[in-house]
Structure 1
């Protein structure tokens, strides 16, 4: 297993906790696999904690303190590292994507969060919470836009999305909002920031009829898979499950329109929405 990279302890509480775990483990003369056995988890899970791609929960922190004889250091500090602006089921996935080197995603119903516009995100959140105060919705939109910054600059991850045709045809927020949303995706494609394909209706039955897929690869930790449902979500790192879903994404990409034809379709749809918004 590749060794964990050196972390900047000042970057985040969770990075600090991961660096401290690595230091305490090595001081105890244990490998990641050795410590994993004492925690009843895999060695790769320990590596993910050290690389700050997985969140340390209180129960794991308590076991670490016992295994490494660190008093209550990890139990106390995991509470600080757990603070987040996101819902509990989503926070770990958000934090993982911020350190991913590659993200592959399939979405059957909506534009992936990382490439949404504020207006589109606002329409989505309002649909989720029709009676929420305006400040709650705006706070959610701001957090989503903050996430999108990982696609900026030379160090951003490779982002490859396959979107069902339903994504671009469902009028979310109105025609003007959809035109803007598609123009944003087009700009990201033309700026070589993302790879995007559309899975057309004419493709018929496909490999992910039951839901979305999100695969996140890292330089120094195993791949994570994120499953999301209505008000719920979970991360999975089982190698067999990850392999299966990676192959599923490959099947989807093969069945989808090519990147060039997908871009042409997005251009045509954006023009249609613009015409509907300004006849």
Structure 2
């Protein structure tokens, strides 16, 4: 089954919220509407796209009025749109395609990385080296598909209404040599250039800052236009990818990011650190 689009996930999330607010079980909804419980489960988990009449029946039961009713019906109409992801969806894991869908719809991304350069800021050679090392079980074709997708994602930074990116990285991500010194030097030079964009901010947490709230691991907070829905948090780990949509989780990660931003070097001081690291990685220097 193709990965659900961001709008389809948003619709599913809203339908779950409406049912719980009405204090109804899926069994109770099935009795009132005749919609099969299994179908309701698939709709509420974004595994199935409801028909317009099915959605209308659910909104009747939940007593949803205008203008929210029209907004949700419009969300259903738009939920089949996938954009450029069609090219890759059959080659990429479902969780990754879901992430790409969310990112493509986001208006702002807060990204903290403890060991890697953020994907939206990676060069092609760095991305290939990083993916190859992290996923040694992948075939060459699978690696290239991921690299191509990562490069296409970066178009969001220069589109007509560009994605706003605020990235914070631990100094370890700047100092770790991925792909060799030439690849790393190119990557660091690219960071210096890409952060000239007015919608891109990059900060570095230096080693001498000591312990900080980001040490447990990397995360991404994505914020959307009001018509699409509230923010979400994405966490990528060895145990699997995780999307968090509860308000308490979003607030917690926003607070962590605020603390990280306060503890990191300023964007200008970060740029100086990155430029110095780039000079250190130029071929011909050191042993």
Secondary structure of the residue that 1:98 maps to in structure 2?
helix
| Partner residue in 1 for 2:233 | 225
**TM-score normalised by the chain length of structure 1:** 0.73
| Partner residue in 1 for 2:161 | 155
Task: Kindly provide the CA deviation profile for residues 7-49 of structure 1, in whole angstroms up to 9, marking residues without a partner as x.
Answer: xxxxxx9488699x79xxxxxxx999646657979xxxxxxxx
1:87–1:276 CA distance, 2 compared to 1 (3 A): farther
1:190 to 196, 212, 224: 196
1:262–1:17 CA distance, 2 compared to 1 (3 A): closer
How many residues were matched structurally? Answer: 240
| CA apart distance, 1:64 | 8.8
1:175–1:241 CA distance, 2 compared to 1 (3 A): same
Task: Kindly provide the CA deviation profile for residues 121-148 of structure 1, in whole angstroms up to 9, marking residues without a partner as x.
Answer: 1001111233543222212111110111
1:234 and 2:222 are equivalent in the alignment:
no
2:264 to 232, 253, 256: 256
Distance 2:47 2:120 in 1: 29
Could you list the runs of 5+ residues in structure 2 that have no partner in the other structure?
Answer: 27-43, 59-77
> Do the aligned residues in 1 keep the contact of 2:6 with 2:102 (CA within 8 Å)?
no
| CA apart distance, 1:92 | 1.8
Secondary structure of the residue that 2:111 maps to in structure 1?
strand
Distance 2:286 2:102 in 1: 41
Secondary structure of the residue that 1:248 maps to in structure 2?
helix
Distance 1:88 1:15 in 2: 13
| Partner residue in 1 for 2:171 | 165
Could you list the runs of 5+ residues in structure 1 that have no partner in the other structure?
Answer: 1-12, 23-29, 42-54, 71-76
Distance 1:254 1:15 in 2: 31
> Do the aligned residues in 2 keep the contact of 1:102 with 1:157 (CA within 8 Å)?
yes
| Partner residue in 1 for 2:222 | 216
Distance 1:89 1:18 in 2: 12
Secondary structure of the residue that 1:86 maps to in structure 2?
coil
1:129–1:212 CA distance, 2 compared to 1 (3 A): closer
Secondary structure of the residue that 2:217 maps to in structure 1?
coil
> Do the aligned residues in 2 keep the contact of 1:58 with 1:78 (CA within 8 Å)?
no
